[in-house]
Amino acid sequence: MTAPTAQLLTLSASSPDALESLTDRVCARLPGLGDDEFAALADELRAEPAAPWRRVLVETGADAAARRLGRRDPGRVLTTTARPGRPVVWMFSGVGDHYPYLAAGLYLGLPAFREHLDTCLALLRRDHDLDLHQVLHPGGAEAAAAQRRTPDLAAVFDRRAGTEEIHRTEVAQPLVFAVQYALARAVGSLGFTPSALLDYSVGELVAATVAGVFTLEDALRLVVTRARLIADLPPGGMLAVAAPVGDVESRLGDGVVVAAIDSPVLTVLSGPPDPLAATGDALTGAGIAVRRLPTEHAFHSTTMTPVVKPLRAAVAAATLRRPRVPLLSNTSGSWLDPGAATSPDYWARHVTSTIRFADNLAEAWALGSPVLGSPVLVELGPGRTLSQLAAAHPGRPPDGLVVRTLPGAFERTPDRTVLLEATGRLWAAGIEPEWPRLG
């Protein structure tokens, strides 16, 4: 028996009282509707002209929708006032949060995503002898979409014996690039466009490609080259540390450096295995929580220095163009200068530089204004790591909106449901999609 398909209900009216009346009328129609009738009602609501006061709900059955709408369930029903023109910032993550079966539901149900992911995977196979289909979707997309994700307790409690294939550097970086690039193109096909781009580590290459700095072919070549150069380096590791950078720096072991400043209270360290482990023990002994990240190498540290020269040569062989969309630089923490965007030196040094993501978020949240409203930050990647950092950032305005587009590794929420929730939240904020392309 086929499981019910989630539907997005969109309600809008010219005033709060009118929205309440409309909600009551919709609630009266919902009980007893079959799946096809429920879908038809969702289509009917989306066809109505959009008004300023908006309410959205994603639900898999009409009866459940009636209950949630009837009590205005605050955990599932979003009610807000649309502000057309709000700045929209797309966020692209680095490696670590990806997993087998990632985006299989979108691959089957969103043609634009499938088209662009297939293009990336075909280029990786043709030009770089790298076949990632089975790594990403073991047994095929249909089997992957049907697979109900269950928590990997070894991963949850940081007790995996070794590195999974999907987390090996030479696999992880091109795979994450391909998924995020395809998702960006698919979201763009739905009518959403970014005002700016925000990124994390290898996600900056995705952002630069979306912004037009690199062609897709050049970007894939650089991602593969970067990953293979790093894979040949001695092993290393990374630790997420729940403390401000100032509380951590004095406790670093030999060769251990600050790789990223994710927030005022979250720092990422990078270094050789033994000194990193000793640093982790010292921090734990001082009452500071640490977590090992799923990586084989010490990214964004001096360990990456041997990669810089050959990576610079690889970037110099590409055609670089000035970005068409403003993007933030991990290395400066501020906006990427167009001259730096076309500099091979910038992209080569990126692998050794500290990621200043907290500063990037401050810049992104500052894009709002009384006229335009507060920014909307959209994470185009698995899970909610960047979304959580964005939501907790002290620069976030009270009405700053954070949206994610894919479930995390340990969630059972279907891909379609998460994307519908994202689309509904964006529509409620005043950002109009092209509904027919959503499917």
Write out pLDDT tens, residues 49-78: 999 999 999 999 999 999 999 999 999 999
Task: Grade residue 161 by pLDDT with cuts at 50, 70 and 90.
Answer: very low
Separation between Cα atoms, residue 288 and residue 126, nearest integer Å? 47
pLDDT, averaged across the chain: 93
Q: Is the pLDDT of residue 160 over 60?
A: no
CB-facing half-sphere around the CA of 199: CA atoms within 13 A = 30
∠ Cα 199 151 99 (to 5°): 35
Q: Is the pLDDT of residue 103 over 90?
A: yes
Give the pLDDT mean for 113-141.
94
Q: Under CATH, to which class is 88-147+169-233+301-408 assigned?
A: alpha beta
DSSP 51: -
Q: Is the pLDDT of residue 287 over 80?
A: yes
Question: For tokens 């479930």, what's the residue?
Answer: 407
Hey, do 1-82+414-439 and 88-147+169-233+301-408 end up sharing a CATH topology, with the first three levels equal? no
* Paired sense of beta strands 196-199 and 88-92, if any: parallel
CATH of domain 1-82+414-439: 3.30.70.3290
pLDDT of res. 35: 95
Strands (E), 117-228: 196-199
Q: Where are the domains of the chain?
A: 1-82+414-439, 88-147+169-233+301-408, 237-292
Strands (E), 243-375: 257-263, 266-271, 290-292
Contact between residue 323 and residue 341 where contact means Cβ atoms under 8 Å apart:
yes
Structure tokens at 280: 């982790």
What is 237-292's CATH number, 3.40.50.2300, 3.90.1150.10, 3.30.70.250, 3.40.640.10?
3.30.70.250
∠ Cα 254 255 260 (to 5°): 125
Q: How far apart are the first and last CA of the chain?
A: 21
pTM for the structure as a whole:
0.94
Give the pLDDT mean for 21-38.
97
Q: How many residues does the chain have?
A: 439
Map residue 376 onto helix, strand or coil: strand
